[in-house]
Amino acid sequence: MPDRAGQETVKVWDPLIRMGHWILVVAFATAYLTEGEPEWLHVRAGYAIAAVVALRILWGLVGPRRARFSDFVTGPARVLRYLRALVAGRAARHLGHSPAGGAMTLALLAALAVTAVSGMVTLATEDGRGPLAGIVAQAGDEHGREHEGEADWEEIHETAANLTVVLIVLHLGGVALASHAHGENLSRAMVTGRKRA
């Protein structure tokens, strides 16, 4: 299928990958910018993040080729070689994730998972609510320390959220650099699902 410039394109990103990506963008921005006020919006955005991350991990195991971790997870040496070549303007183009893109995908999923889980634990310890409330209450009863560690979980939550922002900035920079180096709009590909053949 030709694109606007008449170049042949191929399908790369399936609808689940694309929708999940943009839901994470909106949900994380909502959760981060609300900073808990209103709490209901912050919490629901956090649940959306948790659900999409869990689904993405599952999809990374059973989804189509370009969605699978086996297609893009590499070792750190390959990631560093790719980054050096990208900065030098001679990195090989990848139809799916590049080695750096794969590493960033894993880093973002991990940071978002820690942010979401620590947020749910914080909600459970502070308000006795959320999907982890029963587990947290049971653990507190067994150890006789119902709200001990509350501040620790809140600090983990804030640190993970701030780390996620740093990763997002690096991700955007990498997308811009790779788009320029390879002469294609990678952001558009995450909307259309298609890249130059």
Q: pLDDT (tens digit, 9 = 90+) per residue, 103-136?
A: 999 999 999 999 999 999 999 988 888 888 878 7
Which amino acid, 176? Answer: A
Gyration radius of the chain over CA positions? 19
CATH number of 9-189: 1.20.950.20
Q: In sequence order, what are the residues at sequence separation of 6 or more whose Cβ sits closer than 8 angstroms to the Cβ of residue 50?
A: 113, 116, 117, 120
As a whole number, mean pLDDT of residues 52-77 equals 97
Q: Is the pLDDT of residue 149 over 70?
A: no
144 burial level (CB within 10 Å; 0-12, 13-18, 19+)? exposed
Q: Is the pLDDT of residue 142 over 70?
A: no
What ranges do the domains of the chain cover? 9-189
This prediction has a pTM of 0.89
Pull the structure tokens for residue 135: 């587990």
As a whole number, mean pLDDT of residues 148-164 equals 88
pLDDT computed for residue 60 by the predictor: 97
102 near 72, Cβ under 8 Å?
A: yes
